[in-house]
Amino acid sequence: MPADTSPRLDRTQPAPKVGIVHLGLGAFFRAHGAIFTEEAIAASGGDWGILGVSLQSAGTRDALAPQSGTYIALELAPEGVKPRHVQVVTDVLVAPENPEAVLAAMADPAVKIVSLTVTEKGYCHEPSTGALNLAHPDIVHDIANALPRSAPGYIVRALQRRQAAGVAPFTAMTCDNLPNNGKVLCGVVLALAREIDPALADWIEAEGRFPATMVDRIVPATKPEDIAQVTDLIGCHDAAPVMHEPFRQWVIEDTFVNDERPDWGAVGAQMVADVTPYEHMKLRMLNGTHSSLAYLGYLAGHETIAEVMADEVFARFVKKLWMDEIIPALTPPPGESLEAYAEALAARYANPAIRHRTWQIAMDGSQKLPQRILGTLAEDIVVGRKAPGLVLAVAAWMRYVGGVDETGAPIEVKDPLAAQLRTLSDSSASPAGKVAALLGLREVFSHEMAEMLQMPVTEAYGRLLEVGARKAIEEVL
């Protein structure tokens, strides 16, 4: 094995002083925000080293610790690969092992920003409303205990320490794919703080900042063969490289406590007053079609998005989604062409060097569906615009969470509500009964949305059962 025969990757320059604590140090942030931050330090200076925090497992820490937190980010372009040695991460803490160390780090006055990529489910909120779920087991725990478990809990308890010490709050910056993500994070933090100490909530509301962001870069999961490829490229063993496409975008609402932040704008981030139009563009045009292609593509037997796009029926389908069902429901950001954005997305999806698995994109659908697909679908229905493609995507999600594919093989459904989804799907033998049961899930579908979708989704689900995903798409086309 390369790990046994090659020297281990290690730091080649001094670690920067920590100014950012990042909760949820997964592959996406290491391939996106960390690189932007390292480039901003190189361009304009500042103590903006990143201390990573794993909120669940020790895997990332165990992989990065022997290489001093550094790793290779490998750009995957159709014409070839390009490695970059990223050295902005100084260390990784594992929250369940030592919550006190995490809180102490977040309470340090030198830390100006706490950023997050904890996925939609990490906010312990109701995806259909954005409100904090006070019955969530981690939130129940965090209200009663000073050493928290959840991301909102760590933010609130660390801010509580800063208030007690007379230290300004840090800026809490979410980098997750949620609509109004800054507002959602602010809402769950304030709701939790109010349960713990109303005066703390008032202080956070008055002094804190929760900038909205829009992040975009395709980052497929790292596979063993990727690790071997990196070893061959650089002659060192990296246990935790990240793969990414050449494209990247970061739109950030420019509101920070005491205006303290890295100079991200100097290296290509868009610092704006309102992220909303960019966020809608990306969530609906990229994430919405990514999820649609993931469920339908998986059911049709395609392993990756590039494979899906190589199927001309799917390639025509995604263009129809953009032109007929999604773009008409959007207001473009200043200076952006939605049609040009769609063309660029099609090229990115088709990049054969990016093996982004449909199964990976299909994870956590109950948390993703409302903001990625249902918002657009609701607007289409209200104005009388036909949206058979998005309806079919919702039906494909329902077929997928039933746990059995078109060949009768089991599907490993990864979702915080997986067991409940399977029970609902199994509660009826008929398509209409299955659809009605799943539409009754209020964490995903509002009552109004469920009523609007009952008939069209039932019909689409029936077609998926009768003719399969690819043929059902042909019928839509």
Token pair in block for residue 270:
């868009």
pLDDT 10s digits, 363-392: 999 999 998 999 999 999 999 999 999 999
pLDDT of residue 177: 87
Q: What is the mean pLDDT of residues 67-89?
A: 96
Distance CA(211)–CA(53), nearest Å, equals 20
Amino acid identity for residue 316 in this structure:
R
**Which range is least confidently modeled, 4-8, 160-164, 272-276, 286-290?**
4-8
Chain centroid to Cα 333, Å, comes to: 21
Distance CA(431)–CA(242), nearest Å, equals 41
b/e per residue, 83-97, with b = 16+ CB within 10 A? Answer: eebbbbbbbbbbbee
pLDDT 10s digits, 144-175: 999 999 999 999 999 999 999 999 999 999 99
State the pLDDT confidence band at 78, using cuts at 50, 70 and 90. confident
**Where are the domains positioned within the chain?**
2-272, 276-476
Q: What is the CATH number of domain 276-476?
A: 1.10.1040.10
Look at strands 89-94 and 49-54 and give their pairing.
parallel
Which CATH superfamily, name and number, covers 2-272?
Answer: NAD(P)-binding Rossmann-like Domain (3.40.50.720)
pLDDT 10s digits, 320-357: 999 999 999 999 998 889 999 999 999 999 998 888 89
Phi, psi of 180 (to 5 degrees): 50, 45
Q: What is the mean pLDDT of residues 87-116?
A: 98
Helix/strand/coil for 197: coil
pLDDT above 50: residue 3: no
pLDDT of residue 179: 83
pLDDT of residue 2: 39
Distance CA(84)–CA(72), nearest Å, equals 5
pLDDT above 90: residue 129: no
pLDDT 10s digits, 242-265: 999 999 999 999 999 999 999 999
Q: Tell me which residue of 269, 398, 401, 285 sits closest to 349, measured CA to CA.
A: 285
List Cβ neighbours of 75 (8 Å cut-off, separation of 6 or more).
81, 82, 83, 84, 244, 245, 246
Q: Kindly report the CA angle at 49 between 47 and 55, in degrees rounded to 5?
A: 140
pLDDT above 90: residue 127: no
The mean pLDDT value of the chain amounts to 95
pLDDT above 80: residue 185: yes
pLDDT 10s digits, 444-460: 999 999 999 999 999 99
> Which residue pairs, CB below 8 angstroms and at least 24 apart, start in 338-347?
338/281, 338/285, 341/281, 341/285, 342/285, 344/247, 345/285, 345/286, 345/289, 346/309, 346/315, 346/318, 346/319
CB 214 within 8 A of CB 251: yes
pLDDT of residue 126: 87
pLDDT above 60: residue 1: no
The β-bridge partners of 171 are: 113, 209
Q: Does 2-272 match 276-476 in CATH topology?
A: no
Burial level of 242, CB count in 10 A (0-12/13-18/19+)? Answer: buried
pLDDT 10s digits, 193-220: 999 999 999 999 999 999 999 999 999 9
Q: Tell me which residue of 272, 346, 271 sits closest to 308, measured CA to CA.
A: 346
Q: What is the mean pLDDT of residues 281-308?
A: 96
pLDDT above 70: residue 66: yes
CB 362 within 8 A of CB 418: no
Helix/strand/coil for 157: helix
What distances in angstroms separate CA 397 from CA 150, 359, 405, one per listed residue? 28, 12, 11
pLDDT of residue 5: 72
